[in-house]
Chains A and B, each alone.
Chain A
Amino acid sequence: MSVTRRRVLLLGLGLTATALASGGALLGLRGSAPRVAGLRILGDAEYRTLAAVARAHLPPGGAITPGADELDLARAFDGYLADEPPDVQREAKQALALFEFGPLLFDRRLATFSNLSRAEQLEEWESWLSSDSLIRRQIAGSLKRFLSLVYYDHRAVWPAIGYPGPSFSTRSHR
């Protein structure tokens, strides 16, 4: 029997719900943090999960500044989702929930993604990208595509990669 993406997603969410029901203390794993103002679709926790993913994929410093946080890629995703149909919004939120509880569900870690250290988050993120599990690759691949496209479309990034930017101007084409 083939296992579809949706079936696995539902399975993962079922496990998440079971884990939460078995111990309310697990909710504490997500910690508490200040409200995130101005979100349109994502909840605070979903925003923080995505921000942590973005930070793992595009960390601050190094060869290219800025990092994902400075460009607020998680908010860009929220804005993108706002113009998507309701079923796509719902699926994206489910995917982020699965990602947040991934360490618990897939790696037997008593922690959620947001509560891992930076190094552990990168390790977890890489494990999703190269996972043997189709659903994990699908979710990680989709997030990576979005984050990369938005990040490298940003003017602030171009000098470090040697891209001079769009070359057309109405003046040059007269």
Chain B
Amino acid sequence: MSGELVDLSRRTEPRRVDAEICVIGSGCGGATAARVLAEAGHEVVVLEEGGDYTGPELTQRDGAMYDQLYMDRGGRMTDNRAVSILQGRVLGGGGVINACDVVPIPDGVLEFWRRRHGLTEFTEAALSPHRAAALEDLSASRILDSQLNRANQLLRSGAEALGLRGENMMHNRVGCIGLGTCLIGCPANAKRNPRFVSIPRALEVGVRFFTRARAVRIDDGTRELKRVRARTLDPRGYHEQRDFEVRAKIVILAANAIGSAALLLRSGLGNSRVGRDVSLQPQIPVTGLFDERVDAFRGIPQAYAVTHHERIDAERGLSGFRIEAIMGTPGIVSTLFPFTGAEGKTLMTTYAHVAAALCLVPDEATGTVEVSNAGRPVVRYQQSAEHKQRMREAVRVAARIYLAAGATRVLVPASRPIELRSEADLDRVDALTLEPATAPLLSAHQQGGVRFAASASRGAADPDGCVYGTRGVYVFDSSGFPSTSSTHTMTPIITVSRYLSAKLSASLG
């Protein structure tokens, strides 16, 4: 039995399909669930809002790729425009546009989930086979020293000069040729993401994938047979075209931490916790300018992490911060640079001499998702004073690292730009107020919104992923994570989706 991959933007039929299970979203959560359930003999249909981009269709150009591969054409932000929310909208989801970082859920986080959130079944023993399978799916390996580009070498040398602990990261690249444009897709198809692992396997075992299909609501969520109402999109994914419907007994949401909650809210499904408990894990960039040519835009952009300040324990889960190298193509990097006018243009002439880092600062899950009158998600999020303080501390450390590595200038992008030329300037970081829209904060690892919890009073979905108040509507993506699972969510999502899919399959018989 083989499945099919149907681009609904180019077809007027079908208008309705029936299946046992409908999965919404084809990323790490959705593709994994579809594959595992189909391998167990279930009939599965997957809806994906984005298109299918592989090989040379991934053009390495900012404008076209952010437009086509990212949710809201790369423009999704919190309501106060404080945090840019990066989410995939493409067959394969976030795995297509992430930096390939493989960071499993630490045991300390699982213990935190058990203690604080009552997820007693989320044990190391229960999760470990699925974690192992996730790592196998990803062909996970440690990045070699020989694969560190100059920007990552500089981050490491600066950290080592300061005595800070760090490591080469794990990744899911096979056959990487160092193009450097991971964040807008890999035309060499070197990422072992869902597009090249779970989706081909799912097709082999009969899964039907429908792309350019935007799920807009779920009707009859409390009845045995549910109707997932979708709208097909035009070939570029801009405009809705016609209705499309899937009838299924089981619906699995894997539409990302914003989209899954928004779909439940639009459908009037679930309890009052739906749309709450959202973590954005905001990041802030810091750039070092060097006399030497760094060419950070080539090679693996994110290969070395300074983990010295990361804290993992059963009391708070993941906290502290980590600092990782990063780089992008000129368009996206320019949006992170401070200054404007002639001064801004002059600064961009140093592009090839820049090494950039992201400070990843785990947060409390205090954000919310609502739905606007137009039906689109509205994400509300405020940084706490403690989180701001931790982020400033991370910026200070990143600045010290670059100065120790020989940077002539360190720039912190803010509406009133901060520049440091020596350690004597470190106090300038205190001017980083982090008031909304004063610094280009990024979120690449959204979690929560349909939190897993042992009771309906504490969360929106039960420990099996079933949304409270529904019958057979599940959530198998990072929406369910009760706190930040890891600094990088690809591996945790695949792990948890495998775990929950196996449980669901067993319960269905």
Binding site for B on A (CB under 8 A): 4-5, 56-59, 62-64, 80, 83-85, 87, 122, 125-126, 129-131, 134, 137-138, 141-142, 144-145, 148-153, 157-158, 160-163, 166-168, 170, 172-173
Contacts and interface: CB of A to CB of B under 8 A. Distances in A.
B340 interface: yes
Interface string B178-197: 01110000011000000000
B374 A163 contact: no
B436 A134 contact: yes
A57 B293 CA distance: 26
26 contacts: A59-B345, A62-B342, A62-B346, A83-B239, A84-B238, A125-B340, A130-B416, A137-B81, A137-B438, A141-B415, A144-B335, A145-B440, A149-B66, A149-B331, A149-B334, A150-B63, A152-B333, A152-B348, A153-B330, A162-B293, A166-B179, A167-B180, A168-B181, A168-B187, A168-B188, A173-B187
Given A56-B341, A85-B374, A153-B63, A160 B79 contact: no
B199 to A, nearest CB: 21
Given A152-B62, A161-B349, A59 B342 contact: yes
Contact of B179 (A85, A158, A167, A170): A167
A168 B179 contact: yes
A173 B438 CA distance: 42
A126 B437 contact: no
Interface stretch (B53-61, B200-208, B389-397, B460-468): B53-61
Contacts of B330: 152-153, 157-158, 161, 163
Contact of A144 (B329, B340, B353): B340
Contacts of A167: 60, 179-180, 298
Contacts of A5: 79-81
B177 interface: yes
Contacts of A84: 238
Shortest Cβ-Cβ A-B pairs, 9 listed: A162-B352, A166-B60, A153-B331, A83-B238, A152-B330, A148-B334, A137-B437, A152-B334, A161-B351
Among A56, A144, A150, A166, residue most surrounded by chain B Cβ atoms (within 10 Å): A166
B236 to A, nearest CB: 7
Contacts of A141: 81, 415, 437, 440
B351 A163 contact: yes
A145 B62 CA distance: 12
Contacts of B372: 87
A148 B331 contact: yes
Interface string B341-381: 11011101101110000000000000000001010100000
Given A163-B297, A168-B56, A173-B187, 20 more contacts: A62-B345, A62-B346, A87-B372, A122-B340, A122-B341, A131-B415, A134-B435, A134-B436, A134-B437, A141-B437, A145-B335, A149-B66, A153-B61, A153-B329, A160-B349, A161-B330, A166-B179, A170-B56, A172-B177, A173-B188
A126 to B, nearest CB: 6
A153 B435 CA distance: 29
B171 to A, nearest CB: 18
Contacts of A172: 177
Contacts of A152: 62, 330-331, 333-334, 348
A52 to B, nearest CB: 13
Contacts of A62: 342, 345-346
Contacts of A137: 81, 415, 436-438
Contacts of A150: 63, 331
A125 B339 CA distance: 11
A62 B344 CA distance: 10
A162 B293 CA distance: 9
Contacts of A162: 293, 349, 351-353
Query: In the complex, which range does the number of interface residues on chain B fall in?
Result: 35 or more
B132 interface: no
Given A126-B341, A168-B187, A161 B348 contact: yes
Contacts of A87: 372, 374
Contacts of B56: 168, 170
Contacts of A64: 345, 348-349
Contacts of B349: 63-64, 160-162
B332 interface: yes
Contact of B81 (A142, A149, A158): A142
A18 B353 CA distance: 50
A163 B352 contact: yes
Interface in B56-99: 56, 59-63, 66, 73, 79-81
B54 to A, nearest CB: 12
A15 B357 CA distance: 43
Contacts of A57: 340-341, 344
B438 A63 contact: no
A166 B59 contact: yes
Nearest to B234: A83
Contacts of B351: 161-163
A153 B81 CA distance: 23
Interface in B280-330: 293, 297-298, 329-330
Given A129-B415, A153-B61, A148 B345 contact: no
Nearest to A62: B342
A56 B340 contact: yes
A80 B416 CA distance: 29
Nearest to A136: B437
A102 B282 CA distance: 31
A126 B340 contact: yes
A141 B414 CA distance: 10
Nearest to A76: B63
Contact of B236 (A83, A85, A144): A83
A128 to B, nearest CB: 9
A125 B349 CA distance: 22
A63 B351 CA distance: 12
Nearest to B439: A141
A84 B239 CA distance: 8
A83 B376 CA distance: 16
A153 B333 CA distance: 10
